[in-house]
Structure 1
Amino acid sequence: MRDGGSFFDQPDVFDAYWRARSRQESANSVLEQPIIESLIGSVDQLAVLDLGCGDGQYGKQLLAQGAASYYGIDASMRMVSLAKKNLTEGNAHVVHQAFEEMELPAGKFDLAVSRLALHYVDDLVHVLTKVCRSLASGGRLVFSVEHPLLTSCQESQGTKPGSWVVDDYFVAGARDVLWFGDRVRKYHRSIEDYFLAVQQAGFQVDMLRESKPDRAQFSSEAEYGRRMRIPLFLLMTGRK
């Protein structure tokens, strides 16, 4: 069974992932991105840590918006290779490393962000505790994950479009799922589990969102109605 990093290093998976991300009105674009940007707010003169930096385009965007520095980490070598090509300007640094193994300097960052990466982490409290230590006093954590309603049952993501299976919701742990033509290990937690993990890592929880669709983001009523059926993402913010 592949972990998140080795999963995205598979050529077929990598290509399928980017095809899905580039689709018009992809869930990432119309649901996750607008909300996480509103939660982050201004990044002017902030030192930013990004867990799951992907191809580096988001880091490029943050630097263009005035971030003082950007430090991206990703467990996929393919993603890191792309990120290094995309982040050639500004104060940017990208490393290939699993979150569980990362060593971060204390008090260095003002903002830690993670977009759809922490559901690949087994010991979330351990990782978030490292993140908390790396933040300056008052520093913020903003992250998104797949919504627990989707991750609860490992068969859910293999069902036909428009249908979902919710089962074993309060049984936290690994879920081996078929995704983009291969199998990958994700970790399910309830909303309560995520809330407590953020607290146990040393953060004060500030906000929780469930990616409720905004009609203005959609070109058709049908697509908007489809996205109103079930939450796809969970987003949270915390402050040190």
Structure 2
Amino acid sequence: MKNIYDNENFFYKYSQMSRSQKGLAGAGEWQTFQKLLPNFNGKSVLDLGCGYGWHCLYAAEHGAKNITGVDLSQKMLTVARQKTKAYPIHYVQDDIATVSFLADSFDIVISSLAIHYVADFASLIANIKKYLKPEGILLFSVEHPAFTAEGSEDWYYDVQGNKLHYPLDNYFTEGLRETNFLEEKVVKYHRTLTTYLQTLLKNNFILLDVVEPMPPKDMLCEPGMKDELRRPMMLLVKAKNKKS
């Protein structure tokens, strides 16, 4: 059950990030993600990789009748429980790739920037298919395949330290990537855009939206944010579970 987010140093550095300090408002992709969210009123919701519980809280504030958050990190869940203690949200410490629920348990499954930590995407989608109700909605964000392909997730710089360009290499070679995030080695998994979308289609999902979000104008003044207009950093996918 070990997780990089339970590393004391890493967790502290993560807690200082804008998205940790400001919640959903501090996430560059949030304004686009929010527009894709379905109606939560009266719905059962599962958040895979719930982290601090921000999306669970949003679902509760927008009328969800029951909410479950899953995360592998004990430290993340401790913060989530504290931040959302006014709401009846159920948190589970488990691996989002293998966690099991009863069939047809949820109307909505969401996941924010967690699925690229999962090695077997096909198995994950097959599991979600089982516990998401027919006509249920799956909405997830991942790091964009163009962002994860080369592996380093860093720019090429000139001798003065200016960003020249972002590398794209080994795109069709899927699998493990080891990168540096917050000065720590982190393992992620690269897969192509085709794999993300075709896996959903092969599992009888209907694609509703595919979006490559750009940073909102009101965040372009923040350090490094303008550079995110030079590359696709994230991918948002919304799909509906077709009736069998």
Greater RCO, CA 8 A, separation 6+: 1
String of CA shifts for 1:93-115, please: whole Å, max 9, x gaps. Answer: 00000122211111111100000
RMSD in angstroms over aligned alpha carbons? 2.6
Cross-structure match for 2:227: 226
1:138 Cα deviation (Å)? 0.6
Q: Is the 8 A contact 1:106 1:134 kept in 2?
A: yes
- What residue number does 1:148 align with? 145
Contact 1:146 1:234 in 2 (8 A): yes
| Separation (CA, whole Å) in 2 of partners of 1:27 and 1:170 | 32
Q: In the alignment, what sits opposite 1:196?
A: 198
Distance in 1 (CA, whole Å) between partners of 2:131 and 2:85 is 24
Deviations 1:68-88 (A, max 9, x none): 111000011111122222232
Number of equivalences: 236
Residue 88 of structure 2, aligned match among 85, 91, 102: 91
Corresponding residue of 2:57: 60
How far apart, in 1, do the equivalents of 2:24 and 2:54 lie? Answer: 17
Q: How does 1:176-191 map to 2 (within 5 A)?
A: 176-191=178-193
The answer as to whether partners of 1:50 and 1:113 remain within 8 angstroms in 2 is yes
| Native 8 Å contact 1:49 1:113 kept in 2 | yes
1:237 maps onto 2:238 in alignment: yes
Q: Partner of 1:209 in structure 2? A: 211
CA distance in 1, matches of 2:31, 2:108: 18
What is the rounded CA distance, in whole Å, between the counterparts of 2:111 and 2:151 in structure 1? 23
TM-score calculated relative to the size of structure 2: 0.87
Map 1:108-123 onto structure 2 (within 5 A): 108-123=105-120
Decide whether the 8 Å contact of 1:158 with 1:178 is kept in 2.
no
1:36 aligns with 2:37: no
C-alpha distance in 1, partners of 2:92/2:182? Answer: 25
Q: For residue 210 of structure 2, give the secondary structure of its aligned residue in structure 1.
A: strand
CA distance in 2, matches of 1:63, 1:25: 18
Any conservation in 2 of the 1:149–1:169 contact (CA below 8 Å)?
Answer: yes
Q: 1:201 to 1:78 in 2, by over 3 A?
A: farther
**Preserved CA contact (<8 Å) 2:19 2:25:** no
* Deviation string, structure 1 residues 205-237 (Cα, Å, up to 9, x no partner): 11100012343x336499664332111100001
Q: Does structure 2 retain, via aligned residues, the 8 Å contact 1:157–1:179? A: no
Question: Could you say which residue in structure 2 is the equivalent of 1:49?
Answer: 46
Q: Is the 8 A contact 1:104 1:131 kept in 2?
A: no
Task: Give yes or no for contact 1:47–1:69 (8 Å, CA) kept in 2.
Answer: yes
1:119-150: per-residue Cα shift (whole Å, max 9, x none)? 00011111111112111111000000011111
Contact preservation (8 Å) 2:146, 2:171: yes
Deviates more, 1:180-189 or 1:26-35: 26-35
Amino acid at match of 2:240: R
* Structure 1 residues 159 and 54: CA distance shift in structure 2, 3 A: farther
Higher helix share: 1
- Which residue number in structure 2 is paired with residue 103 of structure 1? 100
C-alpha distance in 1 between matches for 2:146 and 2:74: 30
Residue 73 and residue 221 in structure 1: after superposition, are their counterparts in 2 closer, same or farther (change >3 A)?
Answer: closer
Amino acid aligned to 1:203: F
